[in-house]
Structure 1
């Protein structure tokens, strides 16, 4: 089985696949271009399976192909609009790219140029499902006018280019919200089936089981959980909070308390050993943390459970 690669930018991905990157800024967190300029005569084109750590918006005025997200395949045909967010397994096939525009951007662009609370204003950006939608011609025309303006600004490289692009992109997001996700709320979209949430919970459980058994020596931080899914840590935090109503730190704290209770009740490890095993450099820090969450000191909790069991 070939290695599944993860890419931080579209430029990195296209370089890996041998496609043209001449129209992409080397250091930009935002790109827009016509696929025909990148693919040229290399059609039909079949991409390898990959992961992208950025957002992708695609607008098909005239083109044909298909794309696969996490094993679900959807057609690409005239009038199609679709987007994907970071972390998913992705591949695609293009047979025709006559009039197809692609926008890519990172989370930092959204928060710096759109809104620091962008996921509250546009919660559909956290959507876990990506069936491209074929819009009526008049609706597609309204979106086309905006992305063509964005393209013009991107290629003209004026002094205020990114500020103008950001304003136009907000207009584009509002159009997409109007046509696709007017009533969307991520907390109701498959809390139990969300792939990102599911993977995070599975990894959290597995990691704390290893810590409890002494088979892991380093406690994972948010960055570690994000790296496991090829996501930016801020994005993972936002998804977990939006879809479960609780922060990652709350999930980790609860799991630490749960594992602490298990070790106090079911092993002869000292409080100091348990503290060290769960990532506390000082026993006093562990004791304060445990008492805050369990309302008893570790020693008192162990004594209470021992008395109950005797």
Structure 2
């Protein structure tokens, strides 16, 4: 049985693949990866339960496998597309060697290389539980062809490699969106009561777009009121549907934004604190160290 204490969280695919029980070790120098499934998993394997803090897109041309999201288990077959997003307990099993692609991307990569408001255009990425999509050969071949192009460009030393890859990935996401919106099982998953979760994630995202958060903007009750829900009920839905409390979602999002500001800008820590809704910089420093083990200045230097 897996307990919270022995379930590992991974911020990138290469960290997951350091575990020899999972697959072949890989190198990763960016927040975007694409790998051939038959290379990283060249034999049957059963992964442990883990939490991945990145988005994954898997194209299965042939082979036999399954994956789990929280308490749900899904089986794949040839011409399967599926994706998972951050925040869930996951595992997977390769029963017969799978041929295809696995693409991963961090939230930061999506915002920097696709669009700053990526979740407006691709709101399906916020859907917390997506069943596999079984495509006909024509539609699958379109995605497979894009995968081949992305894989080829990603492995070149071109000065424009990152721009070309991100452009192709944008087309890939548009195609995924088009195909998912034609899939009845996905539409059911997209439309059910997970709307509360989707709206919460959108509200959380839009809240951080302002240059400076208003005091109280990051209270669970504020997000509940936005949807005209009682805070207790709202919290229960978020926790039940995602396995993570609304407060933890807010804390994790705050840390992600803080890390981005600390690593990508020279904005003073004091200003970052105010921008993220902290009345006192010392409160921000204590919060950040509690969440990451480092002070803001230590993180920036590192």
Q: Give the match's secondary structure for 1:95.
A: strand
| C-alpha contact (below 8 Å) 2:83/2:130 kept by paired residues | yes
Partner deviation per Cα, 1:48-93 (whole Å, 9 max, x = no partner): 1110000000000011111111111111110000001101111111
CA distance in 1, matches of 2:79, 2:118: 26
Give me the whole-angstrom Cα distance separating, in 2, the residues matched to 1:231 and 1:82: 28
Q: C-alpha root-mean-square deviation of aligned residues, in Å?
A: 3.6
Task: Give the corresponding residue for 2:70.
Answer: 70
Q: How big is the shift at 1:136?
A: 0.4
CA distance in 1, matches of 2:154, 2:176: 20
Q: Identify unmatched segments of 5+ residues in structure 2.
A: 202-218, 225-230, 233-244, 258-276, 281-302
SS for the counterpart of 2:92 is: strand
Aligned counterparts of 1:101 and 1:88: Cα–Cα separation in 2: 21
Match of 2:10 in 1: 7
2:116, 2:79 → 1: CA distance? 31
Task: Return the offset for 1:94.
Answer: 0.4
Q: Cα offset for 1:225?
A: 2.1
**Residue correspondence of structure 1 range 112-127 to structure 2 within 5 A:** 112-127=112-127
Q: Distance in 2 between matches of 1:107 and 1:8?
A: 11
Contact 1:4–1:51 (Cα < 8 Å) also in 2: yes
**2:164 aligned partner:** 164
Other-structure match for 2:24: 20
Aligned to 2:293: none
Displacement, 1:130?
1.4
**Partner Cα distance (2:253, 2:37) in 1:** 25
Task: Calculate the TM-score normalised by the size of structure 2.
Answer: 0.62
| Whole-Å separation in 2 of the counterparts to 1:67 and 1:187 | 19
Larger radius of gyration: 1
| Alpha-carbon distance between aligned partners in 1 of 2:37 and 2:190, rounded to the nearest angstrom | 34
* 1:192–1:165 distance in 2 versus 1, CA, 3 Å: closer
Q: Secondary structure at the match of 1:31?
A: strand
1:157 partner SS: coil
- 1:98 shift after superposition: 4.1
Check whether the contact 2:44–2:97 (CA below 8 A) recurs between aligned residues.
Answer: no
TM-score (normalizing by structure 1): 0.61
The structural deviation recorded for 1:46 is 0.4
What does 1:1-310 correspond to in 2, within 5 Å?
Answer: 1-2=1-2, 3-18=6-21, 19-22=23-26, 24-25=27-28, 27-40=29-42, 43-181=43-181, 189-191=192-194, 194=197, 225-226=248-249, 233=256
Q: Check the 8 A contact 2:129/2:189 in 1, yes or no.
A: no
Aligned to 2:33, the other structure's residue is in SS state strand
Instruction: Quote how far apart the aligned CAs of 1:194 are.
Output: 3.7
Identify the range of structure 1 (68-77 vs 174-183) with the bigger mean alpha-carbon deviation. 174-183
